[in-house]
Amino acid sequence: MTIAVDKLSDPAVRRLLGAVNSGDRDAFFAALTDDATMSDDGSERDLADWVDREIFSSHGHIEVQTEKSGGRAVVADYRNDTWGEMRTAWRFTVAPDGRVSRFETGQA
């Protein structure tokens, strides 16, 4: 059973993942701090390059299966045109201003 993105517990994660599913790059970056960082499968990545390649140019979509840590850790089925569908884990760090300052993703 999936959890609708608009029902996720953490508002910052809700905004970020909602932007993924709506294909809204501007809203995605607005949900991040200016100095946000990320990693994929334990390797640091250039955030803008990764996001364009793995989400927006390849029509990424996320379906959350479970959430923990107040909504700041999720397991989800993620799919895009490049890799197809895979089970992924995501962890989010939220800054005091309510935006995501870091996310880490990888295969679950």
Predicted confidence (pLDDT) at residue 1 exceeds the cutoff of 90: no
Query: Residue 63 in contact with residue 80, Cβ under 8 Å?
Result: no
Predicted confidence (pLDDT) at residue 95 exceeds the cutoff of 90: yes
- pLDDT of 2-26, one tens digit each? 999 999 999 999 999 999 999 999 9
pLDDT recorded at residue 94: 98
pLDDT recorded at residue 27: 98
pLDDT recorded at residue 54: 96
What's the pTM value of the predicted model, to 2 decimals? 0.96
- The string of DSSP codes covering the chain is --B-GGG-S-HHHHHHHHHHHHT-HHHHHHTEEEEEEEEETTEEE-HHHHHIIIIITTT-EEEEEEEEGGGTEEEEEEEETTTEEEEEEEEEEE-TTSSEEEEEEEE-
pLDDT recorded at residue 89: 98
Inter-CA distances, 72 with 46, 53, 89, Å: 21, 23, 11
Give percent above pLDDT 70 in the chain.
100
- Number of folded domains that form the chain: 1
Predicted confidence (pLDDT) at residue 37 exceeds the cutoff of 90: yes
Q: What is the CATH number of the domain that holds 55?
A: 3.10.450.50
> Domain of 88?
5-107
Q: What mean pLDDT do residues 70-78 have?
A: 97
